[in-house]
Chain A
Amino acid sequence: MKRIAKMVVMVAALLFAGLAIAKAEEPGVREIVDHSNYVSLYQGDDSKGKLQFIITDKQGRTRKRVLNILRKDTGADGGDQKYFTCFIAPSDVRNMTFMVHKHADIGHDDDRWLYMPGLDLVKRIAASDKRTSFVGSDFLYEDISGRSPEEDDHELVETTDRFYVIKNTPKKGGVEFDYYLASIDKKTGIAMKLEYYKKNDVLYRDIVVKEVQNVPAGDNMYPTVTRSVARDYEKGSSTEMIFSGIVYDTGIRDNVFTERYLRKPSRDVLR
């Protein structure tokens, strides 16, 4: 009897171990998506850096937007965050600041403020549509501050040597795409390619990651997208986004994300 019991336990243990190994090899779809969301937006408690957008329109004319960006997590990973940006270029918007209190809950709109130094005016921005262009580029607000995994149904459609290809279909209407495919790097969790499709599988927009760097922070190493390109095939325009000067876990205080600093940012945001 004792032997049988021992064998049952061993078999059970093996079974569980096997399951666990299988799980480690092939994580669930939601797990992949959540991890990717974490890697793109929630690494470290905070981060800062410089974002450059080079926008090329249909006629080949280019425009440049440069801004410094600060991010701080206020809740758990995947939760609420605060963003602070200060424009460096073009010169007519120099020193304009923009602040977002991002709410991860669906149905809770983000709070946004814009400060115009020429008028000393703090403007509150209605934030209902997150799928509008960010600073006139081909990136959308949602590409910068993230699209909640809760908003889509996720389906693993393909697994290659390097990628999990996930089809994301919005649970609710009101967005311009029918679905999008995310090719998520198995090792880093970074979505290396995002392809947005309209009805009848028409690809109309994509974002391709061109460069990833490992940024050290204390004992951690955070893989970070440093160069990516968004293309809008309908408008015929594209935008290259370059992220530089990246620092994680800087210990930014919470009060930096208030009206006081919006009107007069701290020095390290300006530079």
Chain B
Amino acid sequence: MKPCTTLAGMLLFCAMAIISFTAAAQDAPGLEMNGFVEVLGGLRLRDDPYEQDASVMEQRLQIECRGYADVFDVQYRGDVYADWVLEEVKYDTRELWFFTRPTEYMDVKIGRQILTWGTGDLVFLNDLFPKDWQSFFIGRDPEYLKAPSDAVKLGFFSDIVNVDLVYTPQFDPDRYITGEYISHWSPLSGNIAGDKAAVAVHTPDTWFDDHEIAIRVHKNVNNYEYALYGYRGFWKTPDYDALFREKNHHRLHVYGGSVRGSVFSGIGNLELAYYRSPDDSEGSNPSVSNSEIRGLIGYTQDIAKDCNLSVQYFLEAMLDYDEYEETAGKTKKDEYRHVLTIQATKLLLNQTLELSVPVYYSPSDNDGYLRPRITYDYTDDASFVIGGNLFFGDDSSTFFGQLKNNTNVYTAFRLTF
């Protein structure tokens, strides 16, 4: 972030904080304020020559402010945090939007907002809204997995079908792994690298030209939720170009569908997506991602009192593998990437203690990821978290295998107000 935008953000945050606290103190009608302060710290369990021993170390203040008028709502949510890994004070606007319901058949939401759709549980196929895996892997609250979009969301509702249309005038990439917090596979060096091996990334950023359009057409039939999706934009993480030693976001079109509903005594979901890579429709350019088919099937059920188990199988299939194989270098991806996820969640002590163990395992990459997390609400306003991010894998170029040295444990304490 540029210093001037950070400064502007900080000023906005301070202004919102003053407005919120004043409004809360006077109990102003139509205005509400919430927020939290949090201390989060984490340590690497393995030696990582490219990163610090602390995987995360930060103090955070979040302010959320909501305003309700007769015909519209506004909301602001922003974070200021002291980041001791980067040794910086940072600001992040999570939400700043205006919402109105102009007719019985239409919703409009304009501004910075968090957007999610699709049926996967921590697996995304037709949801091309920005993610922040870096935050997720160092142990920030799961809500930080979703990065905000600057967009207009229109919802049209009828008895026949419902349509959501999201227009993002300037491309919002993922907050992908850069080496700042997490070491990862670098195609440049052909090895694991940290932030010092960062290469130039060209992010399409021309307003109203490098834009994204996402659409969802959905309908609920007897509580089976059917949806069709479309997306035109860019690959959310950049591809490496070996020739120019740079990274680029290439164009991407996605078409897909999903269904979710009751199956036996649980919930089943099925989702498919076709990722078309128009900048390399032949699949022969190694510096552009191949077109893919992605599929997901999942099932979740309560297996005991306050105990839930969810199982998902996820497949990524490259469509022009022969062409890819001919041009790819030494470290080739497999044609099919299979991932199995299992998540068990148990609530105890009047639902104030939550134990959860999501496991990701890829039999094709022979790597995986464990994310045990214990959350305890000591009071309504104070909570503790202890968790870990455990990566394993034989190969340092696979998705989870490359993150092996980032295996960490963390703890957090949060006070909400």
> Interface of A with B (CB < 8 Å)?
55, 57, 61, 63-64, 89-92, 94-95, 101, 109, 111, 116, 118-122, 124-129, 131-133, 135-137, 235, 237, 255, 258-260, 264, 267, 270
A55 to B351, CA, bound (A): 12
Which of B107, B114, B146, B260 sits near A260, CB closer than 8 Å? B107
A59 to B417, CA, bound (A): 24
Nearest Cβ distance between residue B287 and chain A, in whole angstroms?
Answer: 33
Tell me if B260 and A124 are in contact (CB < 8 A). Answer: yes
A residues near B383, Cβ cutoff 8 Å: 92
Which of B142, B157, B261, B351 sits near A119, CB closer than 8 Å? B142
Tell me if B302 and A264 are in contact (CB < 8 A). Answer: no
Tell me if B262 and A109 are in contact (CB < 8 A). Answer: yes
> Is B43 at the interface (CB under 8 A from chain A)?
no
How many residues in B have their beta carbons less than 8 Å from beta carbons of A? Answer: 47
Tell me if B99 and A126 are in contact (CB < 8 A). Answer: no
A42 to B115, CA, bound (A): 37
Residues 383-404 of chain B, each 1 if its beta carbon lies under 8 Å from chain A, else 0: 1000000000000000000000
A141 to B357, CA, bound (A): 25
Nearest Cβ distance between residue A136 and chain B, in whole angstroms?
Answer: 4
A109 to B262, CA, bound (A): 8
Q: Which residue of A lies closest to B70 (CB)?
A: A267
Nearest Cβ distance between residue A251 and chain B, in whole angstroms?
Answer: 15
Tell me if A264 and B416 are in contact (CB < 8 A). Answer: no
Tell me if B305 and A255 are in contact (CB < 8 A). Answer: no
Nearest Cβ distance between residue A148 and chain B, in whole angstroms?
Answer: 17
Which of B66, B350, B351, B381 is packed against the most chain A CB atoms within 10 Å? Answer: B350
Which of A91, A124, A133 sits near B34, CB closer than 8 Å? A91
A residues near B260, Cβ cutoff 8 Å: 124
Tell me if A90 and B265 are in contact (CB < 8 A). Answer: no
Which of A57, A94, A133, A259 sits near B306, CB closer than 8 Å? A133
> Is B154 at the interface (CB under 8 A from chain A)?
no
A residues near B101, Cβ cutoff 8 Å: 264
Which of A90, A116, A126 is packed against the most chain B CB atoms within 10 Å? Answer: A126
A108 to B80, CA, bound (A): 48
B residues near A94, Cβ cutoff 8 Å: 34
Tell me if B301 and A128 are in contact (CB < 8 A). Answer: yes
